[in-house]
């Protein structure tokens, strides 16, 4: 999404986001200034089991009373809406400063509220997601959802600054988190005597997670896991059959298909390639 074209409000993620924003307005009142959808829904990659990720711009930092009011909404979101709905609560001043200058924010992760979160969504890719393809949720009943325009009121983020930050973050994440995560996967699933069955999650995570970060390093865009896999398949034909199967499984119904050690080895080979290229090693 690259324009402020209208969003079909009947689609499930937008309908749920609007309903949840109404609940937030009920408990926060005028403290809540803006709500924008980020993550897989904003990137056109929302799946049946996906969560919904929000950035909520607030007039002032949430005090204990406000936190106590919003926490149950997130904790019970899967029960109430069929999907976990997470959010980061940040002031306009905090958005303008950027994540490097913020000590912490109020954020929920997997439905649990953290009063002083310093990771999770508090990173440059989230800032870039807002201005590149975030979807604004109207707080008025008659308002229309639309893609956020760079430089629009309510989101004081310089896109070039966010892009540079997202590239730095992606390089560091590949070199730190993903390098360690690859080794851990090898130890758990592929070491001599390993008995853990290879899961669909592990194959998908290792195939698509590093690929999307490499795409950001190379293009300066926030891409979904699926787009990251598509870009990798286009660049490396040897991995195309594997990635085609992974993407089909991600998008299709749960078929209970089994994944083998060889499948995971392919995923890890792709992950190592993305790490090497993304970090310049």
Residue 1 is predicted with a pLDDT of: 37
Q: Give the number of residues written for the chain.
A: 281
Confidence of residue 194 (pLDDT cuts 50, 70, 90): confident
Q: What are phi and psi of 87, to 5 degrees?
A: -155, 155
What pLDDT digit, counting tens, does each position of 20-75 carry?
Answer: 999 999 999 999 999 999 999 999 999 888 899 999 999 999 999 999 999 999 99
> Would you say the pTM of this structure is higher than 0.85?
yes
What pLDDT digit, counting tens, does each position of 211-268 carry?
Answer: 999 999 999 999 999 999 999 999 999 999 999 999 999 988 755 668 999 999 999 9
Give the span between the Cα atoms of 281 and 276, in whole angstroms.
Answer: 5
Q: Which tokens hold the place of 281?
A: 């090693």
8-state DSSP, 101: G
- Report percent pLDDT > 90 for the chain: 81
Confidence of residue 4 (pLDDT cuts 50, 70, 90): very low
> Residue 140 to residues 26, 32, 71, 136, 143: CA-CA distances in angstroms?
12, 12, 22, 12, 5
The region of weakest confidence among 10-14, 97-101, 189-193 is 10-14
Q: Environment class of residue 116 by beta-carbon count within 10 Å: exposed (0-12), middle (13-18) or buried (19+)?
A: exposed
The region of weakest confidence among 93-97, 152-156, 239-243 is 152-156
Give the span between the Cα atoms of 35 and 258, in whole angstroms.
Answer: 40
Rank 89-103, 188-202, 247-261 by mean pLDDT and report only the highest: 89-103
DSSP state string for 132-173: HH-EEEPSSTT---EEPPTT-TT----HHHHHHHHHHHHHHH
Give the span between the Cα atoms of 226 and 77, in whole angstroms.
Answer: 25
Residue 196 is predicted with a pLDDT of: 87
């Amino acid at each position: 999404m690259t324009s402020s074209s209208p969003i079909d409000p009947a689609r499930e993620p937008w309908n749920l986001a609007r309903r949840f924003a109404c609940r937030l307005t009920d408990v926060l009142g005028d403290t809540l200034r803006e709500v924008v959808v980020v993550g897989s829904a904003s990137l056109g990659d929302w799946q049946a089991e996906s969560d919904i990720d929000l950035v909520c711009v607030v007039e002032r930092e949430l005090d204990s009373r406000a936190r106590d009011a919003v926490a149950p909404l997130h904790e019970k979101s899967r029960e109430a809406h069929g999907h976990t709905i997470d959010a980061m609560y940040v002031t306009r001043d905090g958005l303008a400063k950027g994540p490097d200058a913020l000590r912490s924010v109020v954020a929920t992760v997997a439905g649990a509220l953290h009063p002083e979160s310093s990771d999770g969504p508090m990173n440059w890719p989230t800032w870039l997601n807002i201005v590149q393809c975030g979807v604004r949720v109207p707080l008025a009943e008659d308002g229309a959802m639309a893609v956020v325009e760079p430089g629009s009121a309510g989101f004081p983020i310089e896109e070039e600054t966010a892009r540079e930050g997202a590239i730095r973050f992606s390089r560091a994440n590949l070199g730190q988190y993903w390098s360690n995560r690859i080794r851990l996967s090898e130890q758990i699933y592929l070491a001599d005597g390993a008995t853990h069955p290879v899961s669909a999650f592990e194959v998908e995570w290792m195939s698509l997670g590093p690929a999307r970060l490499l795409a950001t390093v190379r293009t300066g865009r926030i891409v979904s896991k699926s787009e990251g896999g598509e870009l990798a398949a286009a660049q490396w034909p040897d991995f195309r059959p594997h990635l085609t199967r992974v993407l089909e499984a991600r998008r299709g119904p749960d078929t209970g298909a089994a994944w083998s050690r060889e499948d995971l080895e392919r995923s890890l080979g792709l992950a190592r390639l993305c790490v090497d290229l993304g970090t310049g090693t």
